[in-house]
Amino acid sequence: MKVVFRVDASIEMGSGHVMRCLTLADALTQAGAECYFICREHPGHLNALITERGHIVYSLPYIEQHKQRQHSKAEELAHANWLGATQEQDLESCIPILKLLQPDWLIVDHYAINKPWHQELRAYCQKIMVIDDLADRQHDCDLLLDQTFGRSSEDYLPLVPQDCQVLCGAHYALLRPEFAQWRDYSLKRRAQGQLEHLLINLGGVDKDNITTEILQALANTALPDNCRITVVMGATAPWVERVQQQAALMPWPTEVKVGVNNMAELMANSDLAIGAAGATSWERCCLGLPTIMVVLAENQKLIAHGLQTVGAALCIEIQQVKGNGLVAHVSALNNSSSKIKAMSNSAAAVIDGKGVEFVLQQMEL
């Protein structure tokens, strides 16, 4: 089986789309499939990482906006500018690659691509799968995955063909196998509800340097004397040096790690996370890691609201980081081991880390 992924990463859109596609690609490869990626060279792309993971990448050039053709009505999407080209330019670049590879599956994970693009490329593949979180545009696909907690397949009924199979919910989340492997250890070490190790991770990019603001706010928080802080940032994050400078000023030992490959281990050995309401939400839930969740974008609000409603996380807006919202939540958890344990149990109930297995079954692998 040949599988082609059309997905991008950039400073603006972050790394989450590529990372979840890589998780699926690794599992597909292990099951005997050949996986290829088509990725545009946006500022902050991850093409080198994909290659390091053993997959072939076909790179498309980033087209400056003034050189892009006029968008058609069909391309007036909320995230159209994330493509780095028009849909017409993009599919014209993809067609020769798909003609060459003749894939069984074309997997599309991109907010700037919708039904017209799918329809044009159907002739060059057997089936199309879409990975989405927004439910804000039409698709022509055979399989659709939305791993958002609380999302209903009914949200996609008017957006996909009648015979499309729709997989919705966090139990389908694409997590690397190490998260399921660390799950038992992680849940057992939370029995005491201690708060001695904070993990801060605002996604792979954090283009607005919210991490530094979080550290500055925490410096005025009454954390235990034996507390330590670990900050994890992506290899393409633009503010690493500034974060390192702030880390050196913290009252507690604070380590900044860049481009880690043991995220499950780091989460399992942490007592509280401060993180974005993106794809790492499901990783934290699998390991029962209580989280103060910072909502960085409009499309993260549904995730944040859902997890806060079931008691798996506490949510704040960006402006509350500089205000007293973050400090108040940390202080409350520091004084309540029962609250930390309750959040851990609620988070662990959301997902068990076996979503990739479910998806492979639907792809008949």
> Is the pLDDT at 66 greater than 80, yes or no?
no
Q: Are residues 161 and 190 in the same domain?
A: no
Range of the domain at 286: 177-348
**What are 79's two structure tokens?**
């995230």
- pLDDT (average), residues 344-361: 94
Q: Is residue 365 part of a domain?
A: no
| Statement to judge: residues 259 and 316 lie in one domain | yes
Cα within 13 Å of Cα(355), Cβ side: 27
pTM: 0.87
What is the per-residue pLDDT across 4-51, written as a single tens digit (0 to 9) for each? Answer: 999 999 999 989 999 999 999 999 999 999 999 999 999 999 999 999
Q: What's the whole-number average pLDDT of the chain?
A: 93
For residues 186 and 164, membership in a common domain is answered with no
Nearest C-alpha neighbor of 231 from the set 208, 249, 209, 215 = 215
Region for 294 from its dihedrals, namely left if φ exceeds 0, alpha if ψ lies in -120 to 50, beta otherwise: beta
Q: Residue 191's pLDDT band (boundaries 50, 70, 90)?
A: confident
154, 28: one domain: yes
For residue 199, give the nearest of 278, 272, 253 by alpha carbon. 272
Q: Is position 195 within any domain? A: yes
104 shares its domain with 148 = yes
Give the pLDDT confidence score for residue 181 in this predicted structure: 96
pLDDT value at 360 more than 90:
yes
Can you give 243-281 as a three-state secondary structure string?
Answer: HHHHHCCCCCCEEEEECCCCHHHHHHCCCEEEEECCCHH
Q: Which helix (H) or strand (E) holds 167?
A: strand 165-168
pLDDT band at 65 (very low <50, low <70, confident <90, very high): confident
Q: Residues 9, 141: one domain?
A: yes
Assess whether 216 and 159 both reside in one domain: no
One-letter amino acid at 177 equals P
**pLDDT of 190 above 70:** yes
68-86 residue pLDDT tens? 876 555 457 889 999 999 9
Percent of the chain's residues with pLDDT above 70 = 98
List strand residue ranges (DSSP E) for 41-125, in order: 56-60, 105-109
Is 120 in the same domain as 234? Answer: no
Place of tokens 């997997």: 107
Instruction: Please report whether residue 357 resides in a domain.
Output: no
Q: How far is CA 180 from CA 235, 287, 325, 351, in A?
A: 25, 8, 32, 10
C-alpha dihedral (149, 153, 157, 159), degrees to nearest 10: 40
Tokens 């609250």, located at residue = 339
Question: 197 and 156 share a domain?
Answer: no
Q: What CATH number does residue 71 fall under?
A: 3.40.50.11190
Edge-first strand order for the sheet with 56-60 is: 56-60, 34-40, 2-7, 105-109, 127-131, 143-146, 165-168
For 280-303, what is the mean pLDDT? Answer: 91
**Residues 86, 58 within the same domain:** yes
> Does the pLDDT at position 353 exceed 60?
yes
Total tally of structural domains belonging to the chain? 2
Q: Residue 50 corresponds to which tokens in the numbers above?
A: 């994909």
Helix (H, G, I), strand (E, B) or coil at 6: strand
* Encoded tokens for 238: 């633009």
Tell me the pLDDT tens digit for each residue of 205-240: 898 999 999 999 999 888 888 999 999 999 889 999
Of 168, 201, 222, the one marking the end of a domain is 168
